[in-house]
Amino acid sequence: MQGDIVSTVLLPLGLAFIMFTLGVALTPADFKRVFRYPRAFAVGTLCHFVLLPLVGFLVVKLWGVTGALAVGFMIIAACPTGTTSNLLTYHARGDVALALSFTAVASLMSIITVPLIIGWSMDYFLGASRQIAVPVDQIIVPIFVILAIPVGAGMLLRAKAPDFSHRYHQRMSTVATLIFVLIIAAAIAKNWALFKEHTATLAPLVFSINVTMLLLGFGLSKLVGVDIRQAATVAIESSVQNGTLAIVIASSILKDDVMSLPGAVYGVLMYVTGIAFVFLMRKFAPPLSKEEEAAAQAAMH
């Protein structure tokens, strides 16, 4: 019973609060900003919504992973970028404003793309072995409730009470980060036996997907003439996934603990490559000016 409460109530509420915190940092102008950087946005969209699921599928096939674990990897590959990508972007001297805007847009677009990719993946990797089919609309509605509505509520709070939002957003972000850590830890603890059994198998796949997307995001951005700060942003936004959402979808919506394992492992290991990328970018990207530093901090808070 306690496990059911965690999966059906606490995990979705935790994710909803994380998305609410993202909404508090947004204004309608943030959704328009991505169109001021069409090349960076186009590459980010290509990487995130086309290449990432494709890379995830190819890696799973090459490693011979099947069944629920394969679906779990497709869930994490389908999920939007994680909100903590903005912090990595800041430390990598990337474009924080672009990162924040892309995270918001990707989160809303994923309400449609995630159910479609998951529905196809379950049919491909499970087929007739899945006793109960989960209609796409039964995935869309919960995702809409835990993504779009909290983001909208956060934006409304910022619009109606800007002083309050500015004063308390940093504290909300700290709580949201703590919730993210707790959700990953809870998923690992709940499935500790499975986690120990499969981590050695899952880690190479996680690193393969993560490193490939960092390289594709950065390389394709530079290929079309995007500057180094935005290229770093696209790389991070293409590789840092919303592991919390992946766990909630697997545990709370699909009710399959095995499917949640890739999201839990990815949610931890993506920061290993992410932090390494940050150090690499700090060697090559020029330091932020005082004005750029102030703008970056303002965008985050």
Q: What is the pLDDT of residue 301?
A: 56
pLDDT in tens, 228-268: 999 999 999 999 998 888 988 888 888 888 898 999 889 88
**Calpha distance 89→233 (Å, rounded):** 6
* Separation of alpha carbons 42 and 195, rounded Å: 36
Residue 6: give its domain's CATH number. 1.20.1530.20
Name the nearest CA neighbour of 273 among 211, 194, 231.
211
Cα 109 from Cα 102, distance rounded (Å): 10
Q: Count structural domains, the chain.
A: 1
Place of tokens 């059994």: 197
The region of weakest confidence among 110-124, 174-188, 249-263, 284-298 is 284-298
Residues listed for the chain: 301
From the centroid of its chain, how far is CA 142? 17
Please report the pLDDT score of residue 192 as a whole number.
78
CB 43 within 8 A of CB 234: yes
Q: Looking at the DSSP assignment, which residues form a beta bridge with residue 241?
A: 81
The yes-or-no verdict on residue 2 having pLDDT over 70 is no
